[in-house]
Amino acid sequence: MQILSLSLFFKSFDEYLSEICPFYLVKIKTLTAKMVFSSIMIEFRTSVKKGYSVKLDQLKENSNS
Protein backbone atom coordinates (compact mmCIF):
# COMPACT_ATOMS: atom_id res chain seq x y z
CA MET A 1 0.00 0.00 0.00
CA GLN A 2 2.70 2.48 0.98
CA ILE A 3 4.82 1.60 -2.06
CA LEU A 4 1.84 2.15 -4.34
CA SER A 5 1.15 5.54 -2.71
CA LEU A 6 4.75 6.62 -3.18
CA SER A 7 4.82 5.52 -6.81
CA LEU A 8 1.63 7.51 -7.47
CA PHE A 9 3.17 10.49 -5.69
CA PHE A 10 6.34 10.36 -7.79
CA LYS A 11 4.32 9.95 -10.99
CA SER A 12 2.42 13.16 -10.20
CA PHE A 13 5.69 14.82 -9.21
CA ASP A 14 7.18 13.93 -12.63
CA GLU A 15 4.18 15.61 -14.26
CA TYR A 16 4.74 18.66 -12.07
CA LEU A 17 8.43 18.79 -13.04
CA SER A 18 7.57 18.59 -16.74
CA GLU A 19 5.24 21.58 -16.27
CA ILE A 20 7.88 23.77 -14.59
CA CYS A 21 10.82 22.71 -16.78
CA PRO A 22 10.13 25.13 -19.68
CA PHE A 23 10.23 27.98 -17.16
CA TYR A 24 13.67 26.90 -15.99
CA LEU A 25 14.93 26.41 -19.53
CA VAL A 26 14.07 30.07 -20.16
CA LYS A 27 15.83 31.04 -16.93
CA ILE A 28 19.01 29.28 -18.06
CA LYS A 29 19.43 31.90 -20.78
CA THR A 30 19.20 34.77 -18.28
CA LEU A 31 20.82 33.34 -15.12
CA THR A 32 23.89 31.27 -14.41
CA ALA A 33 23.42 27.51 -14.45
CA LYS A 34 24.24 27.32 -10.74
CA MET A 35 21.41 29.70 -9.83
CA VAL A 36 18.93 27.78 -11.97
CA PHE A 37 20.02 24.48 -10.45
CA SER A 38 19.54 25.89 -6.95
CA SER A 39 16.02 27.01 -7.87
CA ILE A 40 15.14 23.57 -9.21
CA MET A 41 16.51 21.88 -6.09
CA ILE A 42 14.52 24.20 -3.81
CA GLU A 43 11.35 23.45 -5.80
CA PHE A 44 12.13 19.72 -5.65
CA ARG A 45 12.71 19.68 -1.88
CA THR A 46 9.60 21.75 -1.19
CA SER A 47 7.43 19.52 -3.39
CA VAL A 48 8.77 16.31 -1.89
CA LYS A 49 8.21 17.59 1.66
CA LYS A 50 4.65 18.66 0.83
CA GLY A 51 3.81 15.42 -0.96
CA TYR A 52 5.41 13.28 1.72
CA SER A 53 3.62 15.03 4.58
CA VAL A 54 0.27 14.77 2.75
CA LYS A 55 0.81 11.04 2.25
CA LEU A 56 1.78 10.60 5.92
CA ASP A 57 -1.37 12.43 7.02
CA GLN A 58 -3.50 10.22 4.77
CA LEU A 59 -1.85 7.07 6.13
CA LYS A 60 -2.42 8.23 9.72
CA GLU A 61 -6.09 8.94 9.00
CA ASN A 62 -6.51 5.51 7.40
CA SER A 63 -4.89 3.75 10.36
CA ASN A 64 -7.03 5.69 12.87
CA SER A 65 -10.32 4.84 11.17
Q: Return the closest-CA partner of residue 13 out of 46, 62, 59, 58.
A: 46
Domain count, the chain: 1
Query: pTM of this prediction?
Result: 0.26
**Domain span at 36:** 2-64
DSSP 8-state symbol, 31: S
Task: Give residue 1's pLDDT.
Answer: 44
Summarised one tens digit per residue, pLDDT across range 2-20 is: 455 555 565 666 666 666 6
The distance of Cα 50 from the centroid of its chain, to the nearest Å, equals 8
